[in-house]
Amino acid sequence: MIDFEHVSKTYETHNDENVALEDINIHIDEGEFVFILGHSGAGKSTFLKLIQMEEKPTEGRVLINGQDLTKIKRRKVPYLRRQMGVVFQDFRLIPTMTVYENVAFAMRVTNISTKKIKARVPFALSLVGLEDKMDRLPDELSGGEQQRVAVARALAHGPKIIIADEPTGNIDPEMSLDIMQLFEAINKVNITVVVVTHEHELVNKLAAKYNNRVITLADGMVASDTAHPEVARRYAAKVAARSHDGYDDE
């Protein structure tokens, strides 16, 4: 379903180059639930941005359902994005629209009928416990509430892939568990879920219970992948080779 083949991403800044991802090879199957862990700046958000075509890889290619995202026609991009539900790290709610409209808009874009929208928006919002705040503007909500609106929006149009960047970053532990379990439930109906988080303990607990895959990124590389235990060995070798070449700090 999602394939990264020798993917590297280097950001050009005004005075320098910033390597965010380096030779990433990952295959995620349809229906998988994957946690992405890693320190701040490890390249987690970049990894997700490549999937949703917000950024383009500098090298290698990303494929979704066998379709090469570097070669896809611009016209087709919206239709591919509609198959995904994305929870952005910075929420990205439309400030001029109410909570209801924000969720409804993502559905309207995908050509869902008004009747269905009217039924599904309140349902999606009730899943994240916000059914009583539908008419507020995003600015009138707390950070955690905004994040939950973003979660509701990502789910509402029935996507095939859910991509969430720190979906519980601003939410208290109890609610975090609820949201994660919501994702687990969605995953049960064969929807692929990729969740970036830094909450190790929560991941350890859930991954053990639901048998989820955990990929750890470090300095733009895959440091470990529970689906492929040998990648940790490969990563260690790579880092060792680097330090011999004098590239590394140590």
Partner 1 sequence: MRFSSFTYLVGQGLHNLRANRLMTFASMGVLTVCMLLIGAAYLLGVNIDAMVEYIGDQNETVVYMNLDATEDQIAAADSAIRSTAHVVGVTYVSPQEVLSIYSDMLADYIDLESAFSSDNPFYPNYRVVVDSPDNIPTVKQQLEQIDGVYRVNAPLDLSNIFVSLQRTISYACYAVVGVLAIVSIVVINNTIKITVFNRRKEIGIMKLVGATNGFIRFPFFVEGVTSGLISAAIASGVVCGAYYALCRWYAENPTTLSQMFGGQLVPLTEVWYYIVGGFALLGFVLCGIGTATSIRKHLNV
| Phi, psi torsion values for 160, nearest 5 degrees | -90, -25
Question: Tokens in use for 63?
Answer: 């494929």
Written as one string, the DSSP assignment of 81-149 is: HTTEEEEBTTB---TTS-HHHHHHHHHHHTT--HHHHHHHHHHHHHHTT-GGGTTS-GGGS-HHHHHHH
Options 45, 102, 192, 224; binder of ligand ATP; rule CB under 6 A: 45
# chain residues binding partner 1, by CB under 8 A: 24
Closer to ligand ATP by Cβ: residue 32 or 199: 199
- Least distance CB 138 / partner 1 (angstroms): 11
CA atoms within 13 A on the CB side of 94: 12
- Least distance CB 112 / Mg ion (angstroms): 30
To which H or E segment does residue 156 belong?
helix 143-156
Closer to Mg ion by Cβ: residue 33 or 88: 88
Rounded Cα gap, residues 27 and 223, in angstroms: 15
- Least distance CB 144 / ligand ATP (angstroms): 17
What is the distance in angstroms between the CA of the first residue and the CA of the last residue of the chain? 38
107 contacts: CB under 8 Å, gap ≥ 6: 116, 117, 120, 121, 156, 157
Query: Under the criterion CB under 8 A, does residue 52 sit at the interface with partner 1?
Result: yes
Q: Binding marks (x or -) toward ligand ATP, 4..43, rule CB under 6 A?
A: -------x-x----x-x-----------------x-xxxx
Options 18, 114, 142, 190; binder of partner 1; rule CB under 8 A: 114
15-23, 24-32, 108-116, 232-240 -> range binding partner 1 (CB under 8 A): 108-116
42 binds, among Mg ion, ligand ATP, partner 1, none (CB under 5 to 8 A by kind): ligand ATP
Q: Binding marks (x or -) toward partner 1, 59..88, rule CB under 8 A?
A: -------------------xxxxx-x-x-x
User: Taking CB positions, which residue lies at the least distance from Mg ion?
Assistant: 45
Strand partners, 8: 59
CA atoms within 13 A on the CB side of 28: 29
| Chain residues that interact with partner 1, rule: CB under 8 A | 52, 54, 78-82, 84, 86, 88, 92-96, 105-106, 108-111, 113-114, 153
| Chain residues that interact with ligand ATP, rule: CB under 6 A | 11, 13, 18, 20, 38, 40-46, 89
| Chain residues that interact with Mg ion, rule: CB under 5 A | 45, 89
